[in-house]
């Protein structure tokens, strides 16, 4: 399980350090792809395979299913760590997440997310402003 929030920087070559706590859970090879809300989702291979299977089973006859499938799968890249615990993010993912220098790496249960610090702070503020409403809407999930 991935938990926590860590601030890091993206270097000029598109590399970012992934916290040591997350490296073991991700394994030697893992998958990074476009996530929702303009962040990058990073999945261990076993979690990626589960997601890929669900996407594969979406009906091809539905435009939304095709769009969702294209969004996640076309942006995906297999990654691995260098000796310093960094990953080299593909330029298409850097552009999508609007990563420039300051980034936030967070753990979200079965995946890691990489955010532009600016976008993360904006997202957090909006979420905090509506937390009561959100919690009322998800009360049925017995949280």
77-118 confidence digits (pLDDT tens): 999 999 999 999 999 999 999 999 999 999 999 999 999 999
Number of domains in the chain: 1
Helix (H, G, I), strand (E, B) or coil at 64: helix
**Tokens at residue 100, please?**
């420039």
Helix (H, G, I), strand (E, B) or coil at 108: strand
Distances (CA, A) of 55 to 17, 32, 100, 109: 29, 16, 30, 20
Q: Is the pTM of this model over 0.85?
A: yes
Domain extent, residue 109, equals 2-141
Q: Give me the CATH number covering residue 65.
A: 3.40.1550.20
**CA pair distance 23, 137, nearest whole angstrom:** 34
């Amino acid at each position: 399980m991935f938990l926590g929030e860590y601030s890091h920087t993206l270097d000029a070559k598109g590399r970012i350090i992934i916290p040591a706590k997350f490296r073991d859970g991700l394994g030697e090879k893992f998958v990074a792809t476009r996530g929702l809300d303009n962040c990058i989702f990073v999945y261990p291979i076993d979690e990626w395979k589960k997601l890929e299977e669900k996407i594969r089973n979406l009906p091809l006859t539905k435009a939304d299913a095709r769009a969702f499938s294209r969004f996640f799968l076309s942006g995906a890249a297999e990654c691995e760590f260098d000796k310093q615990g960094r990953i080299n993010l593909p330029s298409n993912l850097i552009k999508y997440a609007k990563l420039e220098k300051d980034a936030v790496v967070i753990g979200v249960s079965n995946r890691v997310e990489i955010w532009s610090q600016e976008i993360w702070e904006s997202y957090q503020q909006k979420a905090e402003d509506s937390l009561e409403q959100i919690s009322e809407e998800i009360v049925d999930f017995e949280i």
